[in-house]
Amino acid sequence: MNKTIHRAKYVMAEAGSLLSNAAVHVSAAGRILRVEPWQGKPPDAGVSVIDWGTALIMPGLVNAHTHLELGFLDRRLDRTAEFTHWLAQLINKRQAVDDARLAESVREGALQRLSSGTTLVGDISSAGVSRPALKPSLVRRVVFEEALFLAPERAAEVMGPLKLRLEAAEPGGLTECGISPHAPYSVSPELYRLTAALARERRIPLATHVAETRSEQEFLRNGAGRRSFYVA
């Protein structure tokens, strides 16, 4: 494969740096060599030029919080003012499908992200399906394996399967692994401590849902408010 020069009316080299009539030089291995004002096609026969016209060339977008396993629920949940009602719908519909449908949802979601310019996602995986389903995808990803259970006496029990999912992960390439204790209303303090310790031990990122609703804040302050029944 030859070296390629991508020319466009605009090139966003980095935040706050927008070049007019510029070019991106890409090596035969697919790495960006440099970005500079367009100087015309070089005489080197080993260089091909792609002119994108009035387009903008920019770095890929990042979606730091996705749930690709749940993409099949798009437009399948009724609008409601109560978060807990919405979440109950989600849980019921999620339990009605198998892992094959979840994997299909992950693959479809990855293609949608790439087609819209998103090249890196932080994906929360509750079923353990996301990582293997994304293996052939060209989207870069940090797959956060989810952990949840509110009863503190069950914390150690939850950690076993979580560790197995992390150990099954293939390091490197386009995939990085992380851990996601779900939320303060569905994860005990003990489970938070254990997942945080595991993330530090493995030097991987940790993500959680927090401060999403008034009910959550009421529940954490005084045990009142409508709480998610995400865990029975």
Task: Give the pLDDT confidence score for residue 214 in this predicted structure.
Answer: 77
For 98-133, the pLDDT digits (tens) are: 999 999 999 999 999 999 999 999 999 999 999 999
Region of residue 30 (phi > 0: left; psi between -120 and 50: alpha; otherwise: beta)? left
DSSP the chain: --EEEEEEEEEEEETTEEEEEEEEEE-TTS-EEEEEE-----S-TTEEEEE-TT-EE-PPEEEEEE-GGGGGGTT-S---S-HHHHHHHHHHHHHTS-HHHHHHHHHHHHHHHHHTTEEEEEEEESSS-HHHHTTT--SEEEEEEEE-BS-GGGHHHHHHHHHHHHHTS--BTTEEEEEEE--TTTB-HHHHHHHHHHHHHHT--B----S--HHHHHHHHHS-SPPP-S--
N residues, the chain: 232
Task: Give the pLDDT confidence score for residue 224 in this predicted structure.
Answer: 64
**CATH topology match: 3-57 vs 61-222:** no
Task: Give the pLDDT confidence score for residue 226 in this predicted structure.
Answer: 55
Task: Give the pLDDT confidence score for residue 169 in this predicted structure.
Answer: 85
Write out the two tokens for 124: 């929360």
CATH architecture type of domain 3-57: Roll (2.30)
pTM, to two decimals: 0.84
Query: What's the rounded Cα separation, in Å, for the pair 232 and 223?
Result: 17
Which residue in this structure is represented by tokens 């995400």? 230
Residue 182 burial class via C-beta count within 10 angstroms: exposed 0-12, middle 13-18, buried 19 and up: buried
Query: In the chain, what are the domain boundaries?
Result: 3-57, 61-222
Task: Give the pLDDT confidence score for residue 212 in this predicted structure.
Answer: 78
Query: What's the rounded Cα separation, in Å, for the pair 193 and 189?
Result: 6
Write out the two tokens for 147: 């952990």
Q: What is the mean pLDDT of each run of 10 residues along the chain (232 residues)?
A: 91 90 94 93 86 95 96 88 81 91 97 96 95 94 95 93 90 89 92 97 95 77 58 40
Helix H or strand E encompassing 58: none
Shortest CA distance to 67 belongs to which of 114, 130, 117?
Answer: 130
Using an 8 Å Cβ cutoff, are 165 and 145 in contact? Answer: yes
Superfamily grouping for domain 61-222? Metal-dependent hydrolases (3.20.20.140)
Task: Give the pLDDT confidence score for residue 225 in this predicted structure.
Answer: 58
Residue 174, CB-side half-sphere exposure with 13 Å CA sphere: 16
